[in-house]
Amino acid sequence: MEQKPKKIKKPRGKARLIEGKCIACGARCQMSCPVDAIEMNAKEEPVVDTAKCIGCTKCVKACPADALEMFFTPEEQALLKELESQGAAAEPDEPEAESKQPAGGSESNIALWKGVWVFIEQFEGHAHDVSWELLGKGRVLADDLGVELAAFVLGDNVRHLAQEAFGYGADKAYSMESPVLKHYRTESYLRGTVELVNKYKPEILLMGATGLGRDLAGAVATDLKTGLTADCTQLDIDKKMRILEQTRPAFGGNIMATILTETRRPQMASVRPHVMPKPLFQQGRTGVLIEEPFALQEDDIAAKIIEIIKSSEGKSVNINAAKILVSGGRGMLSKENFAKLQELADLIGGVVSGSRCAFDEGWIEHARQVGQTGKTVHPKLYIACAISGAIQHLVGMQDSEYIIAINKDKNAPIFEVAHLGIVGDVFEIIPDLIEKIKQSGAKIVE
């Protein structure tokens, strides 16, 4: 029997650092290595263990500064030359670890996962605004990646929301309808979402960090065994790695952490309402609507909805919609003193809000709290009265158009974001201000 000539294996080489090019980006190369062949030294530069390196080139691709390259021994270089002269017919050696590497939420090849998806959260057929805000951001991410932006909606008679999603920038919309999906239940929405995701394989999945969104996102990520970054304040694409950069406050808001989901898909992130701007609705914009059946029956779902009791908390006040906010902090000292802030707010057509301390003290209800665990606001005018400006407060109001801060401590951090800072006693300045506005006879102009 004729023996086939043995195939020459193409050398894969080893990764090495190019002196002076590392920018200490935060160990992306180390994170990308499937065989733990990279350690970081004291200067946060990679040290490659050549005995472990399998030449997969993942670290080279992951490096944002092109500071890593593949190198070949003289023998390997000679072999490569020989192969080149033979027409490079040799197969590259399969890197051993690549096939063992877990990749994808439920698929082994992450390259199969394509597109940006946004969950359209709805209640009784009305979409939550955060879904449109996420479509605005999703459009940017999809354009950066050169992929489609899709919306998906679950419910009963919610097709119109899929149509509406086109106006907010979606190219495609998936709707899954059933009486079983009329009201949110973790089990039914989880099954529907996982079914859609496994079938169409989006690389990015965004949800609003609302009560419903937080519940669903966690359940979906657990089921798909993928990563989820909750409460992101910023989302970007690393164009080189084609990966989602998910930024959120960490360690009590003292640092901003950028988190990557490198080896699983979809990359899941949730964003709180009003963090991202809502895009303009484009009348007449259309897209492709795909309707998917939902197989489960009512009897398949353990949780039953007996009654829906609508919460009244926060109904009377919506600080997100206010153009002017008069906000009070711990320095206001009592609930009674908030009456002065209310008087000022009434005079200038504003709404009273406050810091978490003001809420903790029981001076305002939670719906009026601004900040990381409260609301994110973007009014035209934000007047911060006796608020120090802790980072957890600033993340909720620093994008206000104009900020006036009144504080008796000239070093208070609130002055770092204020357009106008008044160093002084709030109990003198606010009554003075009220008096001056009254005397001026100024009227509120909408």
Ligand X SMILES: Cc1cc2nc3c(=O)[nH]c(=O)nc-3n(C[C@H](O)[C@H](O)[C@H](O)COP(=O)(O)OP(=O)(O)OC[C@H]3O[C@@H](n4cnc5c(N)ncnc54)[C@H](O)[C@@H]3O)c2cc1C
Q: In the window 408-437, what residues touch ligand X (CB under 6 A)?
A: 408-409, 412, 425-427
Find the radius of gyration of the CA atoms of the chain: 28
Nearer to ligand X, 226 or 388 (CB): 388
Which segments within 109-171 are labelled E, that is strand?
116-120, 122-123, 126-127, 149-155
Which of 5-13, 153-161, 306-314, 405-413 is the region at the interface with ligand X (rule: CB under 6 A)?
Answer: 405-413
Q: In the window 218-257, what residues touch ligand X (CB under 6 A)?
A: 252-253
Secondary structure letter of residue 144 according to DSSP: H
**CB 96 to ligand X: min, Å:** 44
**CB 356 to ligand X: min, Å:** 3
- Using the rule CB under 6 A, is 142 a contact of ligand X? no
How many residues at the interface with ligand X, by CB under 6 A?
30
Residue 354: strand, helix, or coil: strand
Nearer to ligand X, 267 or 407 (CB): 407
Q: Please select the residue that binds ligand X; options are 151, 221, 387, 430, rule is CB under 6 A.
A: 387
**CB 425 to ligand X: min, Å:** 5
Q: Please select the residue that binds ligand X; options are 330, 342, 348, 399, rule is CB under 6 A.
A: 330
**CB 374 to ligand X: min, Å:** 4
Torsion of CA 423, 425, 427, 432, to 10 degrees: -50
- Using the rule CB under 6 A, is 373 a contact of ligand X? yes
Q: Please select the residue that binds ligand X; options are 155, 331, 379, 421, rule is CB under 6 A.
A: 331
Q: Please select the residue that binds ligand X; options are 355, 376, 398, 400, rule is CB under 6 A.
A: 355
Which of 2-10, 82-90, 180-188, 403-411 is the region at the interface with ligand X (rule: CB under 6 A)?
Answer: 403-411
Question: At CB < 8 A and 24+ separation, what contacts does 178-181 make?
Answer: 178/293, 178/294, 178/296, 179/298, 180/294, 180/296, 180/297, 180/298, 180/300, 180/301, 181/154, 181/155, 181/156, 181/294
Which of 76-84, 203-211, 297-305, 350-358 is the region at the interface with ligand X (rule: CB under 6 A)?
Answer: 350-358
- Using the rule CB under 6 A, is 273 a contact of ligand X? no
Which of 104-112, 137-145, 366-374, 437-445 is the region at the interface with ligand X (rule: CB under 6 A)?
Answer: 366-374
Can you tell me the distance from the alpha carbon of 131 to that of 162, in angstroms, rounded to the nearest whole number? 11
CB of 91 closer than 8 Å to CB of 84: no
Can you tell me the distance from the alpha carbon of 291 to that of 161, in angstroms, rounded to the nearest whole number? 12
Amino acid at 208: G
- Using the rule CB under 6 A, is 400 a contact of ligand X? no
**CB 215 to ligand X: min, Å:** 20
- Using the rule CB under 6 A, is 388 a contact of ligand X? yes
**CB 426 to ligand X: min, Å:** 4
Can you tell me the distance from the alpha carbon of 9 to that of 277, in angstroms, rounded to the nearest whole number? 53
- Using the rule CB under 6 A, is 392 a contact of ligand X? yes
CA separation, residue 197 to residues 136, 187, 205, 359, 401 (Å) = 21, 15, 9, 40, 39
Secondary structure letter of residue 318 according to DSSP: -
CB of 4 closer than 8 Å to CB of 19: no
**CB 348 to ligand X: min, Å:** 19
Q: Please select the residue that binds ligand X; options are 372, 376, 398, 400, rule is CB under 6 A.
A: 372
Please name the residues in contact with 90: beta carbons below 8 A apart, sequence gap of 6 or more.
7, 8, 9, 10, 83
Can you tell me the distance from the alpha carbon of 347 to that of 414, in angstroms, rounded to the nearest whole number? 24
**CB 351 to ligand X: min, Å:** 16
- Give the pairing of strands 267-271 and 228-232: parallel
Nearer to ligand X, 59 or 332 (CB): 332
327's enclosing H/E stretch is strand 324-328
- Using the rule CB under 6 A, is 374 a contact of ligand X? yes
Nearer to ligand X, 122 or 327 (CB): 327
Residues at the interface with ligand X (CB under 6 A): 252-253, 329-331, 355-358, 369-374, 386-388, 390, 392-393, 396, 406-409, 412, 425-427
